[in-house]
Structure 1
Amino acid sequence: MFIVLFRTIILYLLVVISMRLMGKKQIGEMEPFELAVAIMISELASLPMQDTRISIIHGIIPIITLLTLQTLLALLQLKSEKIRLFFSGKPTILIDKGKLDLKKLKDEKFNINDLMEELRMQGYYNLSDVEYAILETSGQLSVIPKTELTPVTKTDLKIKPSQDVLPITLIMDGKINFKNLIIAKKDEAWLKQMMKKNSIVSTKNILVALLDSKGKFYYQLKEKNTQDVIK
């Protein structure tokens, strides 16, 4: 039993490391060759886990080999456009200037119902609303609506809003993050002032407190489960 446990832990860690080294893409965003490598690695790892008669090294060596090949291939694709086109292909325009390209749909084995479903998932319910629909190499569909249907931006309205920034956590589960206080260019005296302003007796009563993307102080208490946002 301990042998099976030991083998499983080793193979699990190896698969996790392999997936981590392959990059941060989600499964749905992987290129075809990346998805093939991921499936093969999982299969190679599962066999020694299930059958103790198979040497664990027979699972480790193929996994490391696949990881090495995938890494080399990724590097080659960065340097060569031809290699990238061969392995990953190129995007396909399914709707061009508002018109369906039936030949491209047929080539990509993409029927109209599938296309309509993808468009609905992105908030477009009519083909007449779409100027371009591009099937990316990852299998995702990119949609460019007709200009008159493009959402109005603040730039169009000549509004100059302040730029949103990353939220900074100041207190988590009653504990002050002094490093983040420095990043936020605040100090403990300022934090105590904010707590006093909101009638908070102790940091131990705070579940979370942070500066949000607008630079406002946000907090939520533990006991009362209340929350507030102030400037």
Structure 2
Amino acid sequence: MWFESRHNIYRVIVVGVAAYAGLVVLLRASGNRTLSKSFDLVVTVAFGSTLSTILVNRSVSLAVGLAALALLVVLQLAITWLSVRSSFVSRIVKTAPTVLLREGQLRHEALKRVQVTGDEVMGAVRQHGYGSLHDIDLVVLETDGSLSVIAARQAGDRSAYGRLGDETG
């Protein structure tokens, strides 16, 4: 119940690291939109699932379950720490904001790349109370998967666009 063997804990660490890396790769392969919305949710669900397994599965000792929970915490902290300090890691685990519409014109290549439809962009524009794409300066798919809509009359000096302002058509 409390502890079976070190071998089981080592197995949790090795399999856990490999599974976590596999999760990152699979979510990344599924596209920017999926990665941005899913990664934190998947890790949160993994915590709950691991805790549940510890509580109800008699074949999982407390030590193995706690090792699994600790591993999830350590991996999450490591990814966060590395993504702040390494642009390479940051590009792997985080998405960049993507301009989907600029000055009323849909950017079809960007839409395809991030797997968003023009209808979704138009829906976001309507939800913000606009009836014409020509009233819109910019629609951005943000890193969290949400769509930001900036009206042309609200664009100001565009200083909030950051590097987005450097992109062309």
TM-score normalised per structure 1 = 0.46
1:32 and 1:88 in contact (8 A); partners too: no
Alignment of 1:194-213 (within 5 A): none
The match for 2:61 among 50, 55, 61 is: 55
Query: Residues of 1 paired with 2:57 and 2:65: CA distance?
Result: 11
| Structure 1 pair 39–84 and aligned structure 2 pair: CA distance change class (3 A) | same
RMSD: 2.4
Q: Are positions 1:36 and 2:34 aligned together?
A: no
1:31 and 1:88 in contact (8 A); partners too: no
Query: In proportion to residue count, which structure has more helix?
Result: 2
Query: In proportion to residue count, which structure has more strand?
Result: 1
The match for 1:94 among 100, 104, 110 is: 100
Alignment of 1:110-129 (within 5 A): 110-129=116-135
Structure 2: segments with no counterpart, 5+ residues: 2-35, 156-169
Structure 1: segments with no counterpart, 5+ residues: 4-29, 152-231
Q: What per-residue deviation string (whole Å, max 9, x for no partner) do you get for residues 82-128 of structure 1?
A: 32122102111100222101111112111122222223333334322
Greater RCO, CA 8 A, separation 6+: 2
TM-score normalised per structure 2 = 0.61
2:106 and 2:118 in contact (8 A); partners too: no
Q: Are positions 1:138 and 2:147 aligned together?
A: no
Q: Percent of aligned pairs with the same residue?
A: 26
| Structure 1 pair 121–60 and aligned structure 2 pair: CA distance change class (3 A) | farther
Q: What per-residue deviation string (whole Å, max 9, x for no partner) do you get for residues 193-222 of structure 1?
A: xxxxxxxxxxxxxxxxxxxxxxxxxxxxxx
Query: Residues of 2 paired with 1:115 and 1:56: CA distance?
Result: 48
The amino acid across from 1:80 in the alignment is S
Query: Residues of 1 paired with 2:45 and 2:76: CA distance?
Result: 13
2:100 and 2:138 in contact (8 A); partners too: yes
Query: Residues of 2 paired with 1:31 and 1:74: CA distance?
Result: 16
1:89 and 1:137 in contact (8 A); partners too: yes
Q: What per-residue deviation string (whole Å, max 9, x for no partner) do you get for residues 162-214 of structure 1?
A: xxxxxxxxxxxxxxxxxxxxxxxxxxxxxxxxxxxxxxxxxxxxxxxxxxxxx
2:97 and 2:141 in contact (8 A); partners too: yes
